[in-house]
């Protein structure tokens, strides 16, 4: 008879010692936005932490600004549990996108930094590149546009009416990272935007 068991007739009584279920982490409600430039999708998501949310869904931001949260309280937003997003196609798609590159080298390498510097090629013009200074929230702070062999043109966040955040968990941006000095040298050589009235 196995250890820990006692027999009474055909009845066996088992005692399991030292096995307990780990309690699930408590969940809180967070305001979450997917900012796509000309607008955004908003939700209340119940999760154990903001980090769990951004690790689960691509291209989302957990909003902590008290005024923004207060405004959102007056909206009719869906409230969704992070473990059950199947009924929301947009969130399900962002989760699938995140899962698609989670195991690639560089995943999350740029997240959580105060500043990040990258060299991004133009998708439509192979002769143009953008050297970018990115803040911890993924938004662009400064940019140098390089075309051909010229010194480039510098702009900053005050020049951009739309400034959607980059998803710094995305490993494609880790492969574009450059040193701070490389950006600053290009910034110092670049000319101001001739269309900037400042």
pLDDT of residue 197: 58
The pTM for the full model equals 0.79
pLDDT exceeds 70 at position 41: yes
Domain range for 32: 28-101
Give me the number of domains the chain comprises.
2
Average pLDDT of the segment spanning 122-132: 92
> What mean pLDDT, rounded, does the chain reach?
87
How far is it, in rounded angstroms, from Cα 143 to Cα 65? 26
- Residue 197 lies inside a defined structural domain of this protein: no
Q: Are residues 79 and 147 in the same domain?
A: no
Q: Are residues 122 and 184 in the same domain?
A: yes
Q: Which one of 38, 66, 101 terminates a domain? A: 101
pLDDT of residue 37: 83
Work out the percent of the chain whose per-residue pLDDT is above 90.
72
Q: Are residues 73 and 137 in the same domain?
A: no
Q: Are residues 125 and 89 in the same domain?
A: no
pLDDT exceeds 50 at position 3: no
């Amino acid at each position: 008879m196995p250890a820990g068991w006692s027999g009474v007739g055909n009845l066996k009584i088992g005692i399991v010692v030292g096995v307990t279920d780990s309690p699930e982490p408590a969940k809180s409600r967070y305001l979450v936005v997917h900012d796509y430039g000309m607008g955004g999708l908003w939700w209340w998501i119940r999760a154990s932490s903001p980090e769990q949310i951004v690790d689960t869904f691509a291209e989302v931001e957990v909003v902590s600004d008290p005024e923004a949260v207060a405004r959102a309280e007056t909206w009719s937003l869906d409230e969704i549990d992070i473990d059950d997003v199947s009924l929301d196609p947009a969130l399900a798609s962002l989760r699938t996108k995140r899962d698609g590159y989670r195991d690639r080298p560089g995943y999350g390498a740029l997240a959580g930094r105060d500043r990040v510097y990258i060299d991004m090629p133009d998708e439509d013009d192979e002769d143009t590149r953008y050297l970018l200074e990115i803040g911890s929230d993924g938004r662009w702070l400064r940019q140098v546009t390089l075309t051909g062999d010229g010194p480039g043109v510098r702009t900053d966040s005050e020049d951009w009416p739309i400034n959607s955040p980059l998803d710094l968990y995305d490993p494609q941006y880790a492969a574009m990272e450059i040193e701070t000095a490389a950006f600053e040298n290009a910034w110092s050589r670049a000319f101001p935007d001739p269309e900037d009235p400042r």
